[in-house]
Structure 1
Amino acid sequence: MVHVLGSRILLRPTDPQRSRDFYGRALGLAIAREFGTGPERGTVYFLGGGFLEVSGRSDVPPSPALRMWLQVADVHAAYEELRGKNVDVLRPPQEEPWGLVEMWIADPDGVRIALVEVPEHHPLRYRP
């Protein structure tokens, strides 16, 4: 068995500064650490229970199969805030058949990101 001690998503953007602006300024993710120098330096952001590392550079955008799922306290407030920052909102918040309230956005390279609110009545929150 592999004993995992930590984890992070590694993202190699086509334009590192544009991606740092998106994750750091538009989404407002807190920085866990930075390393290296220059335009392709690494920035590691907190993602709740995990991390996102934006470092290096790629000639092609990440695969469309890559998706992120970020739980937020209030998805409607996040929607209003991100619209005001001209973030590419792919779909506004709506309650899904499985009970979560989800909206979808995209980062500058087109990586799809679900912002998810777990309502009070949902089994992920409810503890009898």
Structure 2
Amino acid sequence: MEILNSRMILRPRDPQRSLEFYRDVLGLAIYREFPGGTVFFLGQGFLELSGRADEGPSPDQALWLQVRDVRAEFGQLRERGVAVLAEPEVKPWGLHEAWIVDPDGMHIALVEIPADHPLRVDVRQH
């Protein structure tokens, strides 16, 4: 299978509230809008808010967002009143992570990958 594009689709309980959270609070750029939905840029992927749900997301779901400076982003989001699940910390696997939650309960990881982490280091033999 050849994947040409991908996106995560969220069905919010309150579409306007979720639109304002992702657009205004997180500051995600809009890729496109259509009747009943908005698609945001997510680095190399997309996040679509469309439709409506009666219940929030499963606690087994999470959105993983890599940022340049997790402490700075977390601090700004906290000042904007975003609900916090976990303060920024260095995890045993070496990533700097903080966790927040969207208005419907979607868990969102904010992740900073340090310069010396294996995800950023070229491990090929030269």
TM-score (normalised: structure 2)? 0.95
Q: Quote the offset at 1:127 in angstroms.
A: 2.2
Correspondence list, 1:1-128, <5 A: 2-36=1-35, 41-127=36-122
| Number of residues of Structure 1 aligned to a counterpart in Structure 2 | 123
1:9-54 alpha-carbon deviations (Å, 9 max, x no partner): 0100000011001111110000000001xxxx20000000100000
Give 3-state SS (helix, strand or coil) of 1:92's partner. strand
Point out where structure 1 has 5 or more consecutive residues left out of the alignment: none
Q: Quote the offset at 1:4 in angstroms.
A: 1.1
1:67-118 alpha-carbon deviations (Å, 9 max, x no partner): 1110000000001100110001111100000000000000001110100000
Q: Partner amino acid for 2:26?
A: L
TM-score (normalised: structure 1)? 0.93
Distance across 1 between alignment mates of 2:16 and 2:76: 21
CA RMSD of aligned residues (A): 0.9
Deviant stretches of 4+, over 3 Å: none
Q: Partner amino acid for 1:79?
A: F
Give 3-state SS (helix, strand or coil) of 2:116's partner. coil
Point out where structure 2 has 5 or more consecutive residues left out of the alignment: none
Q: Quote the offset at 1:121 in angstroms.
A: 1.2
Give 3-state SS (helix, strand or coil) of 1:24's partner. helix
Give 3-state SS (helix, strand or coil) of 2:100's partner. strand
